[in-house]
Structure 1
């Protein structure tokens, strides 16, 4: 079944979570595309542009600079936001490696977003609003300790913002935003500085 068929058949309230998850697990998504579950429907996200991928690679390299061996940085990893029955595939997720190693090799189950230490989203023109609002609220509700939003399309100019201290109401208590070109400190367990001067616009 394709994502388009799921969307055509759904009613205004969307499908139950179990049905959506089973469908998501069975999708044959074109290479480079990602399938996510949001607002009771399955949505296909197109492959990112080369510059988007270049930023992800630079961030991943910095994250690994001081990362403890028990943690890993993962791309194309589905995470379930249990309080909202949403499933996203962030650009990068930092999670304990033992959870990934212990996952059922026969099941395409998403990981629980609450287990992530950091989630990174890099905006594209078509999804910037979702990353700034829906995903920001979802990751806060899931209790993700750190959300790094790299927003090339911010109205203030290209910005990198680290949100910390999530609230159950779907907000973060603290944020630190820097324009591209300025360094952004990442606290423990990363203990590194994200150098944004190499981020392409």
Structure 2
């Protein structure tokens, strides 16, 4: 019976992926596959976009030429059959160039060097828990969570060294207003002073 269920899940995943690929998503919206269903997220608040622009500008200040920063690029978390569209991700540009537009092959989240999620009021819990665990299980080496709605106050947290159990071995959290160093290959300091709360 378990084999039949797994086969049913694989067929459902394939069907969801086919629908996701042709879905006409309204401008600014995001469609993801999570828990074997397609989830739609409305456009984020202007503050959310302002933070994304600041993070992107900081990362580009010393980014190695072979890396690119991408917004709204779908990545597959293979161990969990999830497809997330992070706010920002850093990935080798040769992987992007090699992506075949004629196939349904997805970029694997483990090939990203950094994934950035910026919480919105409606998705903060998912970014803190569900996506945190998924990115760790998927082997994403660095997950930067910028959480404007943390109960301790607005925080930026860098998680590193993912475990297969869905956790990260290390984290460094700073409140907005404090600098957060990002290690190699970035070797930059993220200044959070001007992040809108």
Distance 1:170 1:117 in 2: 17
Question: Structure 1 residue 111: deviation in Å?
Answer: 1.3
Distance 2:54 2:101 in 1: 29
Paired residue for 2:106? Answer: 110
Distance 2:104 2:145 in 1: 26
Give secondary structure in 1 for the equivalent of 2:132. helix
Match of 2:65 among 45, 65, 69: 69
Q: Does 1:91 align with 2:84?
A: no
Give secondary structure in 1 for the equivalent of 2:193. helix
Paired residue for 1:144? Answer: 140
Match of 1:196 among 168, 192, 196: 192
Distance 2:116 2:106 in 1: 17
Match of 2:118 among 98, 118, 122: 122
CA deviation vs aligned residue, 1:3-59 (integer Å, no higher than 9, x gap):
xxxxxxxxxx89721111111001000010010000110010111111100000000
Paired residue for 1:165? Answer: 161
Give secondary structure in 2 for the equivalent of 1:57. helix
Q: Does 1:183 align with 2:179?
A: yes
Question: Structure 1 residue 129: deviation in Å?
Answer: 0.2
Question: Structure 1 residue 146: deviation in Å?
Answer: 0.2
Q: Does 1:54 align with 2:47?
A: no
Give secondary structure in 2 for the equivalent of 1:153. coil
Give ranges in structure 2 of 5+ residues lacking alignment: 1-8
CA deviation vs aligned residue, 1:74-105 (integer Å, no higher than 9, x gap):
00100100000000000001000000011123
Cα RMSD of the aligned pairs, angstroms, is 1.3
Give secondary structure in 2 for the equivalent of 1:154. coil
Distance change >3 Å, CA 27–CA 67, structure 1 → 2: same
Give secondary structure in 1 for the equivalent of 2:44. coil
Quick check: 1:14–1:41 contact (8 Å CA) kept in 2?
Answer: no
Aligned length, in residue pairs: 189
Paired residue for 1:39? Answer: 35
TM-score after normalising by structure 2: 0.93
Runs of 4+ in structure 1 off by over 4 angstroms are none
Paired residue for 1:30? Answer: 26
Distance 1:106 1:83 in 2: 24
Quick check: 1:122–1:149 contact (8 Å CA) kept in 2?
Answer: yes
Give ranges in structure 1 of 5+ residues lacking alignment: 1-12
Quick check: 1:14–1:40 contact (8 Å CA) kept in 2?
Answer: no
Distance 2:120 2:94 in 1: 31
